[in-house]
Structure 1
């Protein structure tokens, strides 16, 4: 065995261990999808306050918010709270073990805070449904659970403010307005402040609040139409495409677009060791070892701390990290295949002519209903846990337009370029030396999903990867899968921007 193979074997074992550790760590983290749905629920609640008489908006409002929006929001908040409670109890049990992951201890205060924040909002939803006694118990629970915890004291005070506002008779406490503005947002803040101003008989403040809320409600309707309308229309188009592909396969079989016989394998001039080498050296060694070590050394030498960066600087830091990873991976890829140049026809093709635009758009529409369907199943499996991409929450809460542009460059340009070259341009064709094309599409998609290091994302990303692989295998043009990948990430960022800006 050569020295290179010994090193590859050692790094492979290390890669399996570290990737497995990251996946296990993500198991105790909440799914980002649950949080995103909560933002959308809050947007629906804001839209319920709209009282305009525009016929167009009236019909849109009825279609978007449904007949019982508050009841639906309460159910969703209760489900998320149950999931968070289970996660808290699971984390507390794991922390009993002397070998517990230190990161679990750091996640405990976050889970406690999340539960308190959910209960504050649940109480407001309950009083709106004339469940005053239930709401009082909910807020009393917040006060009890946060007792003696300094970091949660503001939430405890807010629970006391809310309990006083809706008690019989009402009790007004000092600094009530400040507590509500600081610890509640969107519809919950509006409802609580409206109750406060009514009790204080501050008619002018109440009128100003109602006027501001009407503007917010109208914007919420518009944003809901964007967030819900565009994906819905796209899904219908995607379902039509899938039905066409299924019907074509039934009628034409071997001559259909889905038929394996219609997708020719690539001529692969290298063996599996080169594939192994590129994945371990180019992706794992660079991304999981060399880059973190270099950044750690930089932090120690200069005192640089990424956690203390502002929003725009943090977005630039994430982009720079990704560009370094991509540069290292592409260098390893080039060095690995350089001995086989010129490559056989069909490798790493980027052709401006052809139907790549249609393939990319069609693939995007077809992927939407498939990924949504598997995501619904995925949520039942993981029950709101399993972690997610750490960039997404940062982008959701982003308030700086410059930072959002940098996130867009990372997700919609840099990621599609690098990941499509590596996973579709290199890995998928290389695997066709050892298995049928559909097998190569499936295996490369699974590796692509695992590379994102989040358990809850494995199934949805694998389905997306299979659509990307099919589009590339049929079009033989990386531009098609790059376009699909970019559209997918751009759509996610658009939703994050709309939902995040609405909550602010």
Structure 2
């Protein structure tokens, strides 16, 4: 058996192993919640804060007319209640699923509660059982937090009976020690909206600790009114007005600007489509293929060895063996870990790429060019605008398919809840600079052109986009990321400049992170 044949067998074996690992990771993400529901709730909270904007010369709410309806809707409280109840239903379904899973894993074990802490059962817990227990506690905590807010929305709409029943759910649920404070908060809220009202001694501190944003202000306002603390109520209302004014700006940045960009992108997309349809029969499309000197073995070697095995297997095992635990890190250390991990993965992947294609130097024309045949800036910005309406349409379909499941990039949730400026800067560098440079070099700079040796350029765009999406290891993100990868591949084949997809990729990640920061900043 020749050395080349042995190499081929090893590559095929590694490919099969990677496919199984990636498949397992994708299936594992199926049971994980998406971050989309949480994002929608953050935006809902901003909308609620904006409803408190009032005319400084009047006690009445500001009549913003068309602008108000465009930003807040006709019935913002009702819309917010529907959104919260939808997320609550999803959380309850997840809780039921996890409890059934625990029953299969440990049929004779009771859930941990304050009255029944685990004893012998904890000794028999496997890693999977502990993970399921943790998921159950997280879902219970989320449901209790949602019920606190749903009750306030119901009370503010004049449905006090429904609110009292909702808060009773928090008190009646099995609570762990970490959730006891939420139960006390539910008791405080019940007292505030009962007839006659009852005020607990530590009511204010509990409301401050366990409620955020609009919900905190509504509860504190009710408390101060009952206590007849006019000075505290005036200070609260002044703060609320200041935040409401800031929130209007945030809503415009989060909602209006992307909408305008999407409209511009839709116009560009229509114009491009019409231009293609009106092209004269004598016009011939450009040859989009590359001259590829290597074979499929080099392609597999770069992808399987340089990207998947190193990034998804070797580095996690190495860092885990050294005792690194991502979840145990503090905010800044977690950000340093994320950036360091990505740079190690990118550096190793690019080294494998370089060593794999070095025997074919000098490379044919158009390989890894930064300045191509067309203006990379125009193609990058234009591609971003076109991607906006396409991604919106795909995301709407995607939500119907996965119904809040399928996992999400953990960095999204981290950025959404992060408050440290240094950590956010490091996360931003990872997402907006490191990721676009490395991923575009690999998937558009190397993979897409290499595939044109075996398939048409359009098929190469599709295959490279699909692998790009799968590499993110979240099942629910495969469809939208494949669409984004398709746009990235198209503008690269047209511009022949890697700067164009790098710019588009960076714009997409940057705007996404800025949106998360704006949403996360509205819940103080």
TM-score category of the 2 structures, normalised to the smaller one: over 0.9
Aligned position for 1:120: 148
Q: How does 1:86-105 map to 2 (within 5 A)?
A: 86-98=93-105, 101-102=128-129, 103-105=131-133
Alpha-carbon offset, residue 227 of structure 1: 0.8
Unaligned runs of 5+ in 2: 107-125
User: Is the 8 Å Cα contact of residues 469 and 481 (structure 1) preserved in structure 2?
Assistant: yes
Cα distance between partner residues in 2 of 1:264 and 1:349: 15
Q: 1:222 to 1:56 in 2, by over 3 A?
A: farther
Aligned position for 2:198: 171
Q: How does 1:213-252 map to 2 (within 5 A)?
A: 213-252=240-279
User: Is the 8 Å Cα contact of residues 356 and 479 (structure 1) preserved in structure 2?
Assistant: yes
**Correspondence 1:277 to 2:301:** yes
Q: Deviations over 1:194-236 (max 9, x none)?
A: 0111111111111111111111111111111111121011001
Cα distance between partner residues in 2 of 1:383 and 1:481: 31
User: Is the 8 Å Cα contact of residues 158 and 179 (structure 1) preserved in structure 2?
Assistant: yes
Aligned position for 1:107: 135
Unaligned runs of 5+ in 1: none
Q: Which of 465-474 and 45-54 deviates more?
A: 45-54
User: Is the 8 Å Cα contact of residues 465 and 489 (structure 2) preserved in structure 1?
Assistant: yes
**Correspondence 1:487 to 2:477:** no
Q: 1:364 to 1:390 in 2, by over 3 A?
A: same
Alpha-carbon offset, residue 23 of structure 1: 1.3
Q: 42, 45, 57: which is aligned to 1:42?
A: 45
Alpha-carbon offset, residue 59 of structure 1: 5.8
Aligned position for 2:480: 460
Aligned position for 1:418: 438
Q: 1:263 to 1:212 in 2, by over 3 A?
A: farther
Q: Deviations over 1:92-148 (max 9, x none)?
A: 22233339944333211111111111111111111111111111111111111134x
- The alignment covers a number of residue pairs equal to 496
Q: Deviations over 1:169-191 (max 9, x none)?
A: 11112211111111110000000
Aligned position for 2:415: 395
Q: Deviations over 1:57-81 (max 9, x none)?
A: 7764343112110000011111111
Alpha-carbon offset, residue 308 of structure 1: 3.3
Q: How does 1:279-298 map to 2 (within 5 A)?
A: 279-298=303-322
When the two structures are superposed, what TM-score results if normalisation uses the length of structure 2? 0.91
Q: How does 1:114-263 map to 2 (within 5 A)?
A: 114-147=142-175, 149-252=176-279, 261-263=285-287
Q: Which of 281-290 and 61-70 deviates more?
A: 61-70
Alpha-carbon offset, residue 253 of structure 1: 6.8
Aligned position for 1:32: 35
User: Is the 8 Å Cα contact of residues 372 and 495 (structure 2) preserved in structure 1?
Assistant: no
Aligned position for 1:499: 519
Aligned position for 1:19: 22
Cα distance between partner residues in 1 of 2:161 and 2:28: 39
Q: Which of 351-360 and 366-375 deviates more?
A: 351-360
Q: Which of 18-27 and 204-213 deviates more?
A: 18-27
